[in-house]
Amino acid sequence: MQRVRTDHLVSALEAAPTLGRNPLELRRNHPLTPATTARYGCAPSAPIGPSSKTMNMRIRPLTIFFAAALPSLLVGCGYSQEEWDQKVRESESLRNQLAAQRQAHKKCETDYADSLQEIEDLKKNLKERGINIENLSSKLDEERKALEEYRRRAEQLDQIRKRFDLLRTKLQKLTQLGLKVAVRDNRMVIQLPGDVLFDSGRDRLKKEGEEILKQVAEVVRADSDLKNREFQVAGHTDSKPLKGGEFKDNWGLSAMRARSVLIYLTGTNQGGLEAKNWSAAGYSDTDPVETNDTDDGRAKNRRVELVVLPNVEEMLNLNSLAK
């Protein structure tokens, strides 16, 4: 492998204007040592000429020049000609890449400026047509908020639907007892036939009625969710006026029947449910489920309902969920 020659350094020294003298004179004034002779292949010569002070003044520029030229010399001597050419080609490639990147950057700046101008032109065009960008953005923001609220309500409704379905599944066990579970007036209710619970015009539970309520209490008590829910016992009658008996009207009869059911369900030795979660009310004939013009309709209206009171977040239209 050929090495780069260092003859250019000797030529540079001979041509250096800072020396002010012919290099041969410097050689005469500064004899070569054996080490120098071995390095550069030249014979030593006897010193002639000026004094050491003059020699030092002349050698100082040469020392400075050597210090500046030596790194280039060492670098040059560290590569072969092929390696040096490769480095030159790599440098040219990097310069070309840099030029291409600068050109691309300049094009991006031009495209950005053009885009800004197009936006301004579009705004001007819309303004001429009576379309206000700010108002349009405000309307879009309002619609976006409305859509987010709709999604939030839809998610809430879905959660309520799931809880409703779970509650209805749990209460389905009561249908096996011959009871009806339905949604009425936005509430889930368990309907107990009045003629099974009570004799006509009476508020005392029959044995058959107590057995049904006992099984209802077992279903509610066995489920922690149902056990902690709030219920209302609602008494209902048909529209026929009472003739004699213990009660003067259907208001008193419906309220006392509801009370009897509540006392049994919350009794210590009976239903055993938490009394704080239960209440009772009488509705007389004001909330019929069938017509009062037929015997069958009036029989269905004489009933007691266990109403599952909804939580605050459940106060939506449960009728739509029941479909």
pLDDT tens-digit map of 246-258: 899 999 999 999 9
Q: From the centroid of its chain, how far is CA 210?
A: 54
pLDDT of residue 294: 95
What confidence score (pLDDT) does residue 70 get? Answer: 46
CA geometry: angle 301, 307, 308, nearest 5 deg: 155
Q: Output helix, strand, coil percentages for the chain, rounded to the nearest 5.
A: 60, 10, 30
Residue 260: C-alpha distances to residues 28, 143, 255, 269 (Å): 139, 55, 9, 15
**CATH architecture, domain 163-321:** 2-Layer Sandwich (3.30)
How much is the pLDDT for 64?
A: 52
Q: What is the pLDDT along the chain (323 residues), one digit of tens a residue?
A: 444 444 444 444 444 444 444 444 444 444 545 554 454 444 444 444 455 555 545 555 555 555 455 445 444 456 688 888 888 888 888 889 998 999 888 889 999 988 888 888 887 777 777 666 667 777 788 888 888 888 888 887 777 677 777 777 777 777 777 788 888 777 888 898 888 899 989 999 999 999 999 989 998 888 888 888 899 999 999 999 988 788 999 999 999 999 999 999 999 888 899 999 999 999 999 999 999 999 999 999 999 999 988 775 555 555 555 55
Q: What is the pLDDT of residue 275?
A: 93
Kindly report the length of the chain.
Answer: 323
Find tokens 């749990």 and name the residue: 170
Helix-helix angle 207-222:250-266, to 10 degrees = 50
pLDDT for position 271: 85
Task: Say what percent of the chain tops pLDDT 70.
Answer: 68
In 3-state terms, what secondary structure has residue 1? Answer: coil
Contact 212, 192 (CB under 8 A): yes
Provide the 10 A C-beta neighbour count for residue 300. Answer: 21
Supply 24's token pair: 């041969």
Boundaries of every domain in the chain: 7-78, 163-321
Q: Which residues contact 209 (CB under 8 A, 6 or more apart)?
A: 192, 196, 197, 198
Tens of pLDDT, residues 147-177: 888 888 888 777 767 777 777 777 777 777 7
pLDDT confidence of residue 29: 47
How far, in Å, are 8, 38, 84, 89, 303 from residue 76 at the CA level?
11, 21, 8, 16, 112
